Every structure is written in structure tokens, then in C-alpha cells.
Structure 1
Amino acid sequence: MSFTDRITQGLESGWKVTEGATLTENQTVEADVVIVGTGAGGGTTAEILAKSGLSVVLVEEGRLYYQKDFKMDELTSYANLYQEGMSRATRDGSIAILQGRCVGGSTTVNWTSSFRTPDATLNYWGKRFGLDALSPEAMAPWFDGRETRHSMSPWEMDPNLNNDILRQGCEKLGYSWQIIPRNVKGCWNLGYCGAGCPTNAKQGALMTTIPGALDHNARLFHGLRAERLLINQDRIDSLQASAMASDGITPSGITVTLKARHFVVAASAIGSPGLLLRSGLPDPYGRVGKRSFIHPVNASVAQMPKLVDPFYGAPQSIYSDEFNFRNGVDGEAGYKLEVPPLHPAMAAGVVPGHGDTQAENLARLPWMQSVIALLRDGFHENSPGGTVSLRDDGSPVLDYPVTDYLWKGIRNAFYTMAEIQFAAGADRVRLMHLDSDWYATWADAKAAIDGFVMAPHRVRLFTAHQMGGCGMGSNPEESVVNGFGEHHHVSNLSVHDASVFPTSIGANPQLSVYALAARNSSRLAQRLQK
């Protein structure tokens, strides 16, 4: 490409960007605000605070990868851009966790789906957690502002066939469906969003708020791990951070001490509780790391008579909320239906079987289609979420027991997905369950699902949405922060990411994080300017 990309331009113009691996001696850095994490929450916060004239330092454990690094190659991308080289999972290994570990966080590798927090979710938060100030009416201007900032609008090109099959099946069965808003500008419709956008079309933090902050004199350290916040009475005094070696994973032994008037933690719903736990901050009611949610995701694959090429084209463009709030907010587990792209390496990890069976299945990949269901957790007493705790080495891990209430929702979602695929003309369907075969009719699939044993490791579960663990609420006895993300017990600490959600939300979370972070950062900027 002949044009110079945004990051290259910025680096050439003198942005203050330091890679941890290049540091040769310990140092102390001071600023008005130190922000841990550069994803949806951290990037938004950094841009708003820097534009208000405050000095800002961003700390990112992952590295700065940008256009020159995005080669549409699954293997290097997953290894470099994802937490634990894309092998992150729940404590028992039964749920795979897809999460970014790079500048821009998960917004660099997500599939661009951009939904407002559902009204039903915001209303529930108001009623249950005393968060009346986050009503749909109050949040609307913040959603508007972020939709503009990140170029979010319903996808205007025709959906690829992988997504259109969801539409066709829904139409046949009389289920509602809609077009997904995407945060893209000049998208080439390549389909490799999950490996980093090679054309700079994706308007995640990497292309928007991070450059916006750096243009206003913010400083970025990447390859720098936030180890612990040091507290003095009720205030954070400093952040201790470790530089990563050139492999991006091993600490080099160099430490950076960051001092500030205010600290913002935006290290994700696994990373943020982890940092607060490592720091031993006041937590009188034991709330940190509790009520961690993920939208457990199950899937089905179909063999279609027509060539699908599920690896090309916008990964997600059609969805159905037919079953999301059908039983009310706190009835049976609701689920949102979407479509995942099926790239060869990703598909190899998803489609059951190995050896000759897997080779045979994946030989049919160009004719394969998939549907996923995102289960809405956290709204029912039998869906209390999981717990983030620390391993012996201090790294965070999520323990997420799947309750009978959720297993029932997962079984219901299997029925729905198979029914939709057969309605759209599938030759055969297979559920992502170890006991599933390929089924040639809806009746056979339904009978098989009736008999599935629902248990960890039998059902193949995934998640790309981590939420909760530093939940917000008006009552400090059941929450970590208030509705503005301000810590209940530490006066100069805020949390600005999806860890503050008191439940899951029932939609892909990036816009919810952008909007909440914009609202809360605007208030923080006013507070600090005084």
C-alpha cells in the first residue's frame, strides 16, 4: 500500500511510545493519570483525558502491532495478538477464552460487531443494582457519540453466505433477524478481522482513541506488565510494572514505577480483578473477582449444498435476538444468535474429531456454515457467574461453573441452531458436542440433542466476551465501584472496562465499554481539572 498508515505517521512524528524490551534500567515516571490497558475502556479514557489537557501514561502488557504486522495469517496472529497465545481457558479448561493482548486490546482482533447495551439490561441494572443513572435515555447520547467516533453503522454490503444462511433460516421459521452494525470505514470485506485488520478499516482503539491520545502528548508503554498498585492510606501512590523481554512474555528484570494523581484500571474483566487482587486493595466485602460473566457460547456447523467459503467477507453481519429476552430478563436463559467466521486453524480447533475424521471434515470447510448462541448470564439467581482468582505466579484465572440453568439454555440453543440450519437447506448438521454425529434431518438432530449429556468437556464452549469481576452498584456491600467506575474504598482509583458490568449484557460488549468509559472519563476529567 502506498499511503502511510496512522501508526507509522504518528511514530515518525514523535509520539511518546516506549517498548518495554528496550529499557535497560529501572525508572520512575510521573503523570496526572496512569491508565492500565489500551482496549475499548483504556483508549477512550486516554483520549478524553489527554484532550482535556491532563498528562496521561498508558500501560499495555501486550505489544504494539499494526498494519505492517497484520498479514491475514492465523498462526502468527493468534500467537502474537491473543492472551496466552489464544490458549486462554477457564480454570478447568472446559471453556476457551478469546481475548486480545496487544495495543487496542480485544478491539484490535474482534469481529467488529457494535451493539448498544440492550434497554432491558440497563433497566435491570437500575432496578437491581441502584444504577438508575444508566437508563437507556441517559446513555443514548453517549452511545451516539461513540458510534460517531468509531464509525459504527449497520453493514451496507450484502452479507456473505455464511451469515445469510442465518437470515434465510430465520425467515423460513418466522424468527426475527437484523443487520449488525460494524465499526469500520472503507472496509475491504476480506474476513480476516480476527487476525488484525490489514487495511486499517477497523475503527477499534488502535486506529482511533490511541492515536487521539498520543497526538495530545499521552505516553504509551507497551510490553510493560502492571504488577501491583501500592496504596498509602486510602490513595494509590504508585503502580509497579515489569518490562517484558523481547519475546513479549518473560519479564526482563527491569521495573518501571509510575506515579500519578489518579489511576484508571482498564485491563479487562480478567486482568482488572487480577491486578486489584495482586495489589491487596481494600475489599471489605470480598467482591473483587466475584460475579465474573462470559456469555458462554455453543455452536453448530452445517454442510451446505452451495459453496459457502465461510472465511471470506465480513465475519458477522446478521443476528437474531428472537430468543434473547423472549422469557423476560430473568426467566429461562436467553441467547443471541450470530455467525462466526470459519478460518482453517480456528475451524480445526472447533469442529470435533481428529486424525482422518478431522481431515475428512475440514476437507468440506468451503461448504461449511456455523451458527453460535451467546447465552445471557447473570440475571437469574441460578446464574451467578464465576470467580477470578490468582494462580501461584500471580496471573489471573477464571473459574466458571456452568449451572443446570445455563445447561438448559445451551440445550435449547442447540435445538434452535440446528432447526435454523435445516430450514435454510443444510444437507446435514453437527452440534459442537462430543457425542454428536452428523444428522441429515431436523428430526434426527432433535432426537440426538434430547439425549445429550450436558457436562463440561462434553459440550464445546467458547467465549470472546469477558464481563464483571469489579461490578458497579450503589451498595458497596455488593459492588466494587459506583456507577461512575469510582472505587468504593480507594479515592483515586477508577475502573473503566467491562469488568464493571454487574451482569453480562446480552450483546457484544465493545460499544457498551466505549460509551461507559466516555461518560465516566468526561466526569473524571472535570474532577481532575478542578
Structure 2
Amino acid sequence: MKGSFRRNSELQLEADAVIIGSGAGGASVSDVLTAAGLSVIMLEEGGHVPPSSAPRVASEAFAAAWRSGGLTAAIGRPPIAYAEGCCVGGGTEINSAIAQRADSDLLDQWRKLYKIENFTPDELARYYERAETTVNASLTSGPLGRPTDILRLGGKALGWKVSELKRGQRGCKGANRCSFVCPNGAKQSMAVTVLPKAVDRGMRLFARTRVDKICIEKGRATVVVAHSQDPVGQAVHMRVRAGLVFVCAGAIHTPALLRRSSLRKRIGDTLRIHPTIRVTALFDEPVDAHQSRLPLTAVTEFMPEQRIGGSVFTPAVFGLSLAEDWTNRGDLMQAWRFCGSYYGMIRPRGVGLVRPLAGINEPLVRFKLAPEDWIALGQVLTRVGRAMFAADARKVLPSISGHEGWTSPDEVDEFWNKPLPKGSTNLMTIHLFSTCPPGEHRDACAVDSYGRVRGVENLFVADGSLIPEAPGVNPQMTIMALAFRVAEAALSHSAQERARSAARE
């Protein structure tokens, strides 16, 4: 990318726009702004991990591309582990690149509930189409492997709707390292697609640069204050002046940054996630999931409220999952070639919050499941178990510490009508949303219908924070669609503002 990821010791910078974060949201904003001819500076906290340097070992990949090495959790009972990318390209470098749109009925519900202008499925369609074209969302050709077949066979044997999944890809080689940064550049992440294009148009991208705060004066964002390091490791303080400021740091760090910048009203109060429970399924015949693509089908019969899918599987990742209850499950490592990893996720009714902590880089994150969420998790876990046995699993072990596992389909209804045990259930999520919901319902919305922070003329949010509630599907396409929409609206708003200023002068 023509050296665009080198750190710069310059203290004072100016541009038409500054973008904070380089993931699906920030990259999409950069595409719109640079195409319009604006000078753009992008600030990214993480480093650049090109495909040629993609780590082969899980521990190295987590250190290079995952926030806090993958060790992050929302406080609650139980705590819920969550994952975020922290590198150039953000979460698109470590996700599975699955491309799905939010359900049309949900979009309509959100439009009415939050009073979001121009938010119908038809009005959003062109933004979704742009997102899908950007990443070449497409079905994967050729044999998909036994992990995919297991989910397809299990779902269809039960009469459930099973859907093939499109992914952002070009010539996927099935390396099964989606979570480690794709070593082939086949996964169409932001560092492979949009960001090089924006850099070629003149965008300056500063990696390993953390934003401390945004200075607000007289209802305008005036300066973005950040710090970086020079090539010898010395701290460099940066001040960036720009006419437009876009915060695209994700559903955790966007509200934390806004709150550090003294913007607090309805910001970070409504965190939503996809609570997810996993199972390990043991089969009599080898699965060899490490040699296959991640499962590229999903049980969509119960969407958007519940979704059943499969996870990336490598020996190292499998070992980490067993570590939740190593005393009882460590022996499964000897049978790892015969195992597959699957999950059920729900759209929760519970809500969490995000708060920055003075002197600490990572904010406080809390999430409390509602009573009905526990019932839904029990139901989706039951359904995952049924699907595994329908695909001839020998044993199914839910992600519940101390649980002995099920050896027949007659046992899986254990939690159908009762909550899972809070003290021993291990939950996780890779999907985070809704900490800055948009709309004209001022009692519920942190930003207006087009992502502009209330009370600040030139400050916009454009990332997963904007998705009003959990969508029940992988969120990347929705994040990109909303970011394209915000960037277009910001350009229009800026042009109108300049015209009013010229008229006054």
C-alpha cells in the first residue's frame, strides 16, 4: 500500500475528514469520502498484518490481530467472552466474512420504534448491494468438507430450513485460518479491498495510533488528540484538525471514546450482543475439520431469533474450547480429528453498557441476560444437540462446565423448558452492537437518523454501534451498509453547511 502504514512523527495534521478505526465501518466511510475527492486521515489503534505475514500459530495471531490477545469479557453472571479485531481492517481480518442482510421485518420494526428516517428495506437495499459488491459476496464452489455436511444433513433430517452461506471471498483456498488473518488474501477483508483503494486516492493511514479524545468547541468537533510511536518506540502525540470526524472504533470503543470526550447522553447505555453457546460433537468417523473450510451452511429455520452454525476449527482453537473444563474434557484432545465445533446464538432481550475507566485502555463492559434469554439459550442448545445426533454424532458436549454430555437424542431436551445453569455455562460472542442507536426518538437514540452525534455539527458514528438491536445474523454487511449511508449523508450535510456559511458571509 505504498508505505501507507508507516507511523509518522508529525504532531500537527489537517484534513477534510478524520476517520477513527479501519474496520468495516471506517473503511466504508473512507471509500465514500476519498471517491468524493476529500483529503482523509485514518487513525487505527492496531498494527498492519499483511497476508504475507499472517501468523500460522494461534497465539501469535491473537497477539497480532485480536484486541487484548482475545482475552476480553463483559462482566455479568456469567461473564461473556467477546472478540474484537485490533489491527488494520479491524474485525474483518478475524471474522468468517459471512455476508448476510438484516431481516426486512426487523428493519421495519427498528424504523418505527426508533423513528429512523429513510430506513426501509428498499431504501437500504442499494447500500447492502454496494457492500456485497465490495467484498464479492458469493457462494463457495467445490466440496465444502464434512463439517458443512454435518450441519446440512442434521438440519435437513429434522425438516429444518438450512441455507448456504455467502462469504466475502475471491478464490478461497480453504486454509481454515479465517480467524488468524487470511494468509492468501482471498478473504475480502477491508485491508485487502477498500483500504488500498482509499490509500491510492490519497488517504493517509496511521497504524498503531490510539485516539485519546475528541475536543468539542461551540458544538463542533475541532481536534482529535491521539498518540502513536515513532520507529524507535518513542511516544508521539498527535493533534488532527478536520472538518468532518467519523468515529468507527466499534460498539465498545466508540462509546468509550465519545464518553471520554464528554459526550454521554444515551451513549454506551444499550449494548446488544448475540449470546452464543457452543457444543463439541464427537463422531465415529473422522471429521478432520482442520482440513476443511469452516461450516458454510446455517440452520435458518428459527431466524432471526435463533441461528445455528459452525465454527472455525483448528487443534489450537479446539484446545482452547476444551480448556473451559479441561479436567473433564481434556481427554478429547486425543480424539480431535473426530470432533466438530458448532453453536447456537440468540437475539437477546437483555442489555449491557460500556463505560471508560480512567487510566485504563479497556473500558468496563457489562451485560445482563434477561430471564427469557436463558430460556432461549436452552432451546437453541437443545436444537443444536438434536441436529448433531441427526447427523449421527456419538456424543455431544455442551459448553457447560462439569456437564457429562449427551450420548443419545433422548437426553438433549434437558434444558428445553428450564434455564441453563448460570454458574457453569460458558457463553461467548463475536457480534457487538447498538451502543449508539440512531433515530429521531430522542429519549432512546444517541445519534440522529444518519449517525450524527446530537449537539455536535460535524461528528458522526459509523460502525456496529449504529445497528439498533441485535440483528440475528452476521453483522458485517449491515455495518458497511449503514456506514456508506452515514458517509453520503455527512457529505450532503457538509455541503449544505458550507452553502449556509457562504450565504451568511
In the TM superposition, what are the counterparts of 1:24-103 in structure 2 within 5 Å?
A: 27-92=11-76, 94-103=79-88
Shift of 1:400: 0.5
Shift of residue 135 of structure 1? 1.1
* Residue 371 (structure 2) pairs with residue 404 (structure 1): yes
CA shift at 1:226, angstroms? 0.6
| 1:7 counterpart residue number | none
1:295 pairs with 2:274: yes
Structure 1 distance, partners of 2:98, 2:234, is 37
Question: How far did residue 480 of structure 1 move?
Answer: 1.0
Asked if residue 446 in structure 1 is aligned to residue 413 in structure 2, the reply is yes
Contact 1:50 1:56 in 2 (8 A): yes
Q: 3-state SS of the aligned residue for 1:137?
A: helix
Q: Would the aligned equivalents of 2:21 and 2:42 in 1 still touch at CA under 8 Å? A: yes
CA gap of 1:108–1:174, structure 2 versus 1, over 3 A, is: same
CA distance in 2 between counterparts of 1:349 and 1:426 reads 22
Deviation of 1:356 (Å): 6.2
Q: Equivalents in 2 of 1:125, 1:446: separation in Å?
A: 34
Report if the CA contact (8 A) 2:175-2:292 is conserved. Answer: yes
- Percent identity for Structure 1 against Structure 2: 25
**CA deviations over 1:474-502 (Å, ceiling 9, x no partner):** 12221111221111211110000010111
Which residue does the alignment assign to 2:301? 322
- Give the direction of change, closer, same or farther, for the CA distance of 1:496–1:148 in structure 2 (3 Å limit): same
Checking the alignment, whether the CA contact within 8 Å between 2:127 and 2:485 is kept in structure 1 is yes
Kindly indicate whether the alpha-carbon contact (under 8 Å) linking 2:92 and 2:189 is maintained by their aligned counterparts in 1. yes
Aligned to 1:19: 7
Which residue is 1:424 aligned to? 391
Report SS of the residue matched to 1:57.
strand
What letter is aligned with 2:335? Answer: R
* 8 A Cα contact 1:348 1:358, kept in partner: no
SS for the counterpart of 1:227 is strand
Letter of the 1:427 partner, please give it.
R
The offset of 1:156, in angstroms, is 2.7
The residue aligned with 1:482 is: 448
Match for residue 175 of structure 2 among 190, 195, 199: 190
**C-alpha contact (below 8 Å) 1:229/1:276 kept by paired residues:** yes
Which amino acid letter does the alignment assign opposite residue 337 of structure 2? P
Q: Distance in 1 between matches of 2:223 and 2:455?
A: 16
Query: Residue 62 and residue 115 in structure 1: after superposition, are their counterparts in 2 closer, same or farther (change >3 A)?
Result: same
Between stretches 55-64 and 339-348, larger displacement belongs to 339-348
- In 2, the alpha carbon distance for the partners of 1:525 and 1:172 equals 51
Please, which of 279, 283, 292 is the counterpart of residue 304 of structure 1? 283
| Residue of structure 2 equivalent to 1:494 | 460
Residue 458 of structure 1, aligned match among 416, 419, 424: 424
1:471–1:499 Cα contact (<8 Å) kept: yes
> In the alignment, does 2:316 pair up with 1:350?
no
Is 2:273–2:433's contact at 8 Å kept on the other side of the alignment? yes
The one-character-per-residue Cα deviations of 1:38-74 (angstroms, maximum 9, x if unpaired) are 0001001112101211000000000111112213321
Moved more, 105-114 or 396-405: 396-405
Alpha-carbon distance between aligned partners in 2 of 1:81 and 1:244, rounded to the nearest angstrom: 18
Match of 2:436 in 1: 470
Cα gap change, 1:44 to 1:468, in 2 (>3 Å): same
Match of 2:145 in 1: 160
The within-5 A match list for 1:366-381 is 366-377=337-348
Whether the 8 Å contact between 1:472 and 1:485 is mirrored in structure 2 is yes
- Offset at residue 91 of structure 1 (A): 2.7
2:154 is aligned with 1:172: no
1:336 maps to 307
Deviation string, structure 1 residues 381-423 (Cα, Å, up to 9, x no partner): xx24100012232432310011211111111111101011011
Deviation of the 1:86 alpha carbon? 0.6
- Taking only aligned residues, the RMSD between alpha carbons, in angstroms, comes to 2.0
**Does the 8 Å contact 1:192/1:311 carry over to 2?**
no
CA separation of 1:518 and 1:355: change in aligned 2, threshold 3 A: closer
Task: Check the 8 A contact 1:390/1:396 in 2, yes or no.
Answer: yes
3-state SS of 1:134 partner: coil
1:391 corresponds to which residue? 357
Per-residue deviation, residues 283-333 of structure 1 (Å, max 9, x unmatched): 4xx3110111110111111101221112233224101221124xxxxxxxx
**Match status 1:238 vs 2:232:** no
Query: Residue in 2 aligned with 1:201?
Result: 186
Is 2:243 the counterpart of 1:261? yes
Q: Which residue pairs with 1:271 in the alignment?
A: 253
Query: CA–CA distance in 2 between the matches of 1:190 and 1:201?
Result: 10
Whether the 8 Å CA contact 1:186–1:201 is kept in 2: the answer is: yes
Q: Match for 1:503 among 469, 478, 489?
A: 469
**1-structure distance, mates of 2:93, 2:419:** 37
Question: Which stretches in structure 2 are left out of the alignment for 5+ residues?
Answer: 499-505
* 8 Å Cα contact 1:473/1:482 also seen in 2: yes
Cα distance in 2 between the residues matched to 1:156 and 1:448: 38
1:107-146 counterparts in 2 under 5 A? 107-146=92-131
Gaps (5+ residues) in structure 1? 1-9, 326-333, 378-382
